[in-house]
């Protein structure tokens, strides 16, 4: 039996490098899937706006016409948030344009 074994010093270095690359790829994937801050803020503001309008409509502070206008404005803000999240030039890798109209 010979004790002349070849040592592979590169295998541990290669494993460490591969682990670093996997971590880097996971971080890039997480960044790509993250929601656009502009879209997130628009959606949050829209939720608060529509909630306040609904509350005021139930209390009788605003008329049904104004509540309808607020609802239409809420839909417009929702479409703007969708455009910022999925529209042209987004980080999500979409082909651009409106996602619901394709």
Q: What is the C-alpha to C-alpha distance for residues 70 and 65, in angstroms, rounded to an integer?
A: 9
Percent of the chain with pLDDT over 90: 47
Give 50 or 90, the one with higher predicted confidence: 50
**Short-list 31, 77, 29, 30, CA closest to 53:** 77
Tell me how far apart the alpha carbons of residues 92 and 102 are, in angstroms, rounded to a whole number.
16
Cα–Cα distance list, 80 to 30, 31, 97, 101 (Å)? 24, 21, 12, 14
Model confidence at 76: pLDDT above 80: yes
Alpha-carbon gap, residue 19 to 22, rounded angstroms: 5
> Smallest Cα–Cα separation from 55: which of 65, 72, 67, 46?
67
User: Would you state the pLDDT for residue 41?
Assistant: 94
pLDDT digits (tens, 9 = 90+) for 30-73: 777 788 899 999 999 999 999 999 999 999 999 999 999 999 99
Domain boundaries, the chain: 36-101
| CA 91, chain centre distance (Å) | 9
């Amino acid at each position: 039996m010979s004790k002349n074994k070849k040592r592979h010093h590169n295998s541990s270095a290669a494993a460490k490098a591969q682990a670093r690359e996997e971590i880097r790829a996971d971080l890039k994937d997480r960044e790509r899937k993250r929601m656009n801050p502009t879209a997130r803020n628009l959606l949050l503001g829209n939720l608060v706006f529509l909630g306040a309008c609904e509350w005021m409509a139930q209390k009788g502070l605003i008329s049904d016409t104004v509540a309808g206008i607020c609802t239409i404005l809420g839909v417009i803000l929702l479409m703007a948030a969708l455009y910022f999240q999925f529209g042209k030039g987004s980080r999500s890798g979409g082909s651009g344009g409106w996602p619901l109209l394709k």
